[in-house]
Amino acid sequence: MKLPVVKLDAKKAGEIELADAVFGIEDIRSDILQRMVRYQLSKRQAGTHSTQNRDDVSRTTKKLYRQKGTGGARHGSRNAPIFVGGGVAHGPHPHSHAHALPKKVRALAMKHALSSKVKDEALIVLDGFDGEKTKDLVAQLKALNISNALFIGGAEVNEKFAKAARNIPNIDVLPLAGLNVYDVLRRKTLVMSREAVEGVNARFAEAEKA
C-alpha cells in the first residue's frame, strides 16, 4: 500500500510504502482497541485514594456505657463505623489499578489503531516537521485541513516545531517512542513523519521475524 507524502506547505513530496499487515487491516476489532485503552488508562491511575479504618482513627477507647441495661445497642468503642467520626468500613486504600495485557494483544491493538486511521482517510504523512512560529504553523495546518491531530515524529522531534505546536489547541506532538493507541484514537487525524512510518514498518517487521 502506498500513501502520498506532503510537506507542511501542502506541496507533494513523493510517496511512501505502508506495510499492509500494519496499516492495511480491513476488519477493525473495536474490542481489542477497547482492551488496550482500558489497559493504558488503568496504568495511569494514581491509586492514592485512602480512608481511615477503625484502627486508624484516633479516639478514646473507653467503653461508652455499660454493656447491658441501657435499652440501647451494645458498643465498646467510638471508633466503630456506625458513629460520626469513626472509621470507614471497607473504604478504599492505596493500590495499583494496572493489570496485565499480553504483548501480542498490545501489538495487535496498535496495528488496528493505525489501520483505522488509514481506513478513515485520517492518516497524513509529512516529509518532515519544521516550523518556528505558532502563527505560521496555524496557517499551514489550516491549508492541510488539520484542526485536531496527533503528530508523530522520528526518534527525536524537532524542538522548534514542538514549541510552536504546543500553543495550538487539540494538537499533540510525540516522538516515535511515544506512539500509543490511546493518543492515536483520541485525535481525529494522525500525522506521521516519513521517518516515523519507516520506524513503525521496521519495528513490526522485526517482531514478525522474531
CATH code (residue 119): 3.40.1370.10
Q: Is 15 exposed, middle or buried (0-12, 13-18, 19+ CB in 10 A)?
A: exposed
Tell me how crowded residue 43 is: count the other CB atoms within 10 A of its CB: 12
Separation of alpha carbons 108 and 56, rounded Å: 46
Give the model's pLDDT for residue 40. 97
Is the same domain home to 24 and 6?
yes
Give the model's pLDDT for residue 79. 92
Give the model's pLDDT for residue 130. 80
Q: Positive or negative CA dihedral for 148, 184, 18, 1?
A: negative
Is the same domain home to 13 and 117?
yes
Is the same domain home to 171 and 116?
yes
Is the same domain home to 140 and 124?
yes
Separation of alpha carbons 205 and 210, rounded Å: 9
Q: List all residues 6 or more positions away from 24 whose beta carbon is below 8 Å from its beta carbon.
A: 1, 18, 115, 118
* Residue where the block lists cell 476489532: 29
Task: Write down which residue in 64, 91, 118 finishes a domain.
Answer: 91
Nearest one of 210, 186, 204 to 23, comparing CA atoms: 204
Is the same domain home to 15 and 104?
yes
Give the model's pLDDT for residue 155. 87
Is the same domain home to 192 and 149?
yes
Give the model's pLDDT for residue 89. 93
With both helix axes pointing from N to C terminus, report the angle between 194-209 and 103-119 in degrees, rounded to the nearest 10: 140
Is the same domain home to 39 and 122?
yes
Give the model's pLDDT for residue 209. 67
Grid cell of 17 as nine digits? 510504502
One-letter amino acid of 123: L
Give the model's pLDDT for residue 210. 61
Strands, DSSP E only, in the chain? 2-6, 12-17, 123-126, 149-152, 171-174, 189-193
Is the same domain home to 104 and 164?
yes
Q: Average pLDDT for consecutive 10-residue bins of the chain (210 residues)?
A: 88 90 94 97 94 90 90 90 92 94 96 96 90 87 92 90 91 94 96 93 79
Is the same domain home to 129 and 164?
yes
Is the same domain home to 157 and 80?
no
Grid cell of 102 as nine digits? 499480553
Q: How many domains does the chain have?
A: 2
**Residue 74 domain boundaries:** 51-91
Is the same domain home to 7 and 87?
no
One-letter amino acid of 161: F
Give the model's pLDDT for residue 185. 97
Is the same domain home to 38 and 58?
no
pTM of the model: 0.83
